[in-house]
Amino acid sequence: MTTRPELPTRPAAVIMTWANIAFAHWPVPVDVMRPLIPRELEVDLHGGVAWVGLIPFEMRDCHFRGVPPLPGLGRFLECNVRTYVHHRGIPGVWFFSLDAASRIAVIGGRVAWGLNYRLARFEHEQSETSTRYSLSRNRGDGSGRLDWTPGEAMPSPPPDSLEHFLVERYHLYSKRRGKLLRGRVAHPPWELRAARIDSIDTGLVTATGIEVNGDPIAFCSAGVRVSGFSPVDADRPED
């Protein structure tokens, strides 16, 4: 079960909106997932299996504390491939990859947060009824697609549900110069809708070393406003 932890006492490093987001997830056997994440982390399970997610969205109104507005950071497309882990009792996210259309975001995410950001070209079309979303990495070593149509609004998922397990995550883990880091985000609970997947290319998931089959479990959201806090040593207590 994932609960919302108390806010850190330190100020947020970045304020942003994760908008028009989709969540597509597949179950993965633990013995497949275990070799793909750092040994310091434990695989977080629901229903006895690990989960891998493909999450495309739009970054909007991104502002870094103490930094003037920079071209290419205010609004750009991003797509994450991730799984779920915990360390010393703190559940979080492990990102296999984070593809973004902003070169500044890619450099900053890799240098400051130790995250595997990749620069990519995106095609995006949003109508009143559906979203078409595809990308191709600039180096040509990965591509993906997810087109979806929002459905009915979903009730707030209970804490023991799969939906809550997959979306209500308030920590992320990364490695920088061999050191395990833990970052923190804060946002309101997700307001989810059912999502029908109209077209999908799982090439980004395959690029991590994971093969998925069948239709994903999928839902979507208009988005949330997010505060992001700089990463700290993962072995230090919560602040």
Q: Per-residue pLDDT tens for 84-117?
A: 999 999 999 999 999 999 998 898 889 988 999 9
The CA distance from 28 to 32, in Å, is 7
Whether the CB-CB separation of 226 and 187 falls below 8 Å is answered with yes
Residue type for position 42: E
**In this structure, which CATH number among 3.20.20.150, 3.30.200.20, 2.40.400.10, 1.20.140.10 belongs to the domain 15-233?**
2.40.400.10
Indicate whether 1 pLDDT > 90: no
pLDDT for position 133: 96
- Lookup: tokens for 91: 């559940």
What is the predicted pLDDT for the residue at 70? 64
Q: Which of 109, 127, 129, 131 is nearest to 118 (CA)?
A: 109
Q: What is the pLDDT of residue 69?
A: 67
pLDDT per position as a tens digit, 41-100: 999 999 999 999 999 999 998 887 766 666 666 789 999 999 999 999 999 999 999 999
Q: Which helix (H) or strand (E) holds 235?
A: none
Q: What is the pTM of this model?
A: 0.93
102-117 burial, b at 16+ Cβ within 10 Å, e below that, comes to: beebbebbbeebbbbb
